[in-house]
Structure 1
Amino acid sequence: MTQINTCLKRVFTIFNIFFAIVGGVIIALALLSQVLTNTGGRENLEGRTTGLIALYVVGAITMMIAILGAYGAHKESKVSLIVFLVCMVIGTLLMLRIGISTAMARPQIEGILESKFREFVPLDEASEDVKNMAESLQMTMHCCGLFSYKDWGNEIPDSCMCNPETEMDECQTINYRAFMLSGKTIYAKTCFSILMHYVILITDILLGVVFTLAILAVLGMVLSSVMIHQLRYPNRPTILLSVPAVFSPAPPKYQELHNPPIY
């Protein structure tokens, strides 16, 4: 005999399908990131392995929780729903912790990254790995130098060169060396400013995703709690809407008296 409301069961199933899709998207993003970071000699990026493992774990856990919730609703398993509820409580607390910490750290991100990148300047005296990373950024983002083209000293690489015929809005002309009469045309934007734009954008997206997941986790808590309550009290009376007694027809207040005939 079905003990959980059919409509509630359907809503909860749709909720878990959406959760499973989110988990699949996270795993797909991890696969895409792994492919992209394997190209161009970037296999040894710092923190790459840890980040990929975290994405895989989060995606797998999300899908497992969604499957557990759908199974608990379909089979009306109290144990599965209780485990799902505990996972939702933990997930809500975790998402709120990450979201609040990220929101508080957001204004300090630029200063932290700037102090970190300042350690690589001047670029002409940096290690080969740093030079290769900087040149890769310059070719990809059409920029020159981390904070200025002067980061390269007198050794501005070809990756800074800009074609004024096709990239007129992105170019600037500088006097490369004091003894040279002709100038050099390089990219006007700096790489750090472009990097910061993407970092702030990713941070804002992360905040939106985290708080959205927190709201969904709260919704999952409510739905699973209601179903557990229905399973715990299966014989509860059904509350139906009825017309109040005041509107029901009342019995007559008096009856006509008939005197028996006298013979």
Structure 2
Amino acid sequence: MGKINGCIKCLFIFFNVLFAILGCVLMFGAVKVSVYSSMFLQIGGPSLVWIWVFAIGVLGISILGIVAACYEKELILKVFAGFMGLGMIIMLIFGIIVVVTRNKVKEGFDTAASAFGKAFINNDELRAMLMSIEQSTHCCGLGGSADWGDDIPNSCQCSPGAYSSFGAYTCKPKPQGASGPDQIYAKGCSEFIFTYVNVLFQVCMGFCFGFAVTALLGLLITILMIHQVKHYDSCGGTSIAMKSY
């Protein structure tokens, strides 16, 4: 028999394998969203480098946990427990940072939406995304139609008296000398975009605080495993089965 209870060992390895897969998925996601890195920085958001750091950290610690459980070595388990304790603290800090960053981004959208709108329009992919948002949420530009200058796209075309899923919206004439539809949406898209950005921040907050709780549970299980290894070694290699009630 091994030093660690078989059920605990299998469960521990299973969850570490799941987190190793999650680390790989996060790395894949970091590659996919790298195109929006400049946008996040310009609106006050965190650098996407942190996603890479977090993903590599999750993958590395998960592999360490699997190795620790397989080899049943007290030293490796203690190192893993240290990472769990450190990870719990880091996740709590990250959760607080996400809350602060959310408020900073909201302020950025409210006070400098037009400046951020230039970043959308000067980037081909972000420009296409903004035009898609304009059509679906019935708005024009990020801070307003002025973001488009004298070349207003058809995605800003407004039909007076119509309604959207966000309620009634108003139209206004296009600026004099500008090309494009005669009637355009009066509101910018910043408030609609922030609605989706806010959901992302809420997911991140749940993710961070959820990982903090998970790290705490991992720490407690690791401490139990260390106790079992010590007990095995102190008994001269005699494994004691866990009691059943």
TM-score class, shorter: 0.7 to 0.9
Residue matched to 1:231: 229
Are residue 196 (structure 1) and residue 191 (structure 2) matched? no
Cα drift, residue 63 of structure 1: 1.1
Cα drift, residue 224 of structure 1: 0.8
Cα drift, residue 210 of structure 1: 0.6
Alpha-carbon deviations, 1:2-39, whole Å to 9, x = none? Answer: 111111101111121121121111111012223xx2xx
Stretches of structure 1 that go unaligned for 5 or more consecutive residues are: 243-263
| TM-score computed with the length of structure 1 as normaliser | 0.70
**1:30 and 1:52 in contact (8 A); partners too:** yes
Stretches of structure 2 that go unaligned for 5 or more consecutive residues are: none
Residue matched to 2:70: 74
**Structure 1 counterpart of 2:122, from 125, 129, 132:** 132
Cα drift, residue 162 of structure 1: 2.7
Cα drift, residue 157 of structure 1: 1.2
Cα drift, residue 169 of structure 1: 4.4
Mark the CA change 1:221 to 1:43 in structure 2 (over 3 Å): closer, same or farther: closer
> For residues 1-263 of structure 1, what are the structure 2 equivalents within 5 Å?
1-34=1-34, 37=35, 45=39, 47=41, 51-103=47-99, 106-107=102-103, 109-117=105-113, 120=115, 131-132=121-122, 135-142=127-134, 143-149=139-145, 151=146, 155=150, 157-162=152-157, 169=163, 173-176=171-174, 184-187=182-185, 189-234=187-232, 235=235, 240=243
Once residues 215 and 73 of structure 1 are traced to their aligned partners in structure 2, the CA distance between those partners, rounded to angstroms, is 21
Alpha-carbon deviations, 1:95-127, whole Å to 9, x = none? Answer: 011113433554554223322335x29x8xx7x
Mark the CA change 1:65 to 1:131 in structure 2 (over 3 Å): closer, same or farther: closer
Mark the CA change 1:31 to 1:154 in structure 2 (over 3 Å): closer, same or farther: closer
* Greater helix share, structure number: 2
SS of 2:47's equivalent? helix
Once residues 194 and 99 of structure 1 are traced to their aligned partners in structure 2, the CA distance between those partners, rounded to angstroms, is 24
Once residues 241 and 153 of structure 1 are traced to their aligned partners in structure 2, the CA distance between those partners, rounded to angstroms, is 71
Please tell me the residue identity of whatever aligns with 1:28: F
Once residues 106 and 232 of structure 1 are traced to their aligned partners in structure 2, the CA distance between those partners, rounded to angstroms, is 46
**1:17 and 1:66 in contact (8 A); partners too:** yes
| TM-score computed with the length of structure 2 as normaliser | 0.74
Once residues 216 and 43 of structure 1 are traced to their aligned partners in structure 2, the CA distance between those partners, rounded to angstroms, is 29
Alpha-carbon deviations, 1:146-178, whole Å to 9, x = none? Answer: 3333x35983512543375xxx64585433357
Residue matched to 1:250: none
Please tell me the residue identity of whatever aligns with 1:218: L
Percent identity among equivalent residues?
25
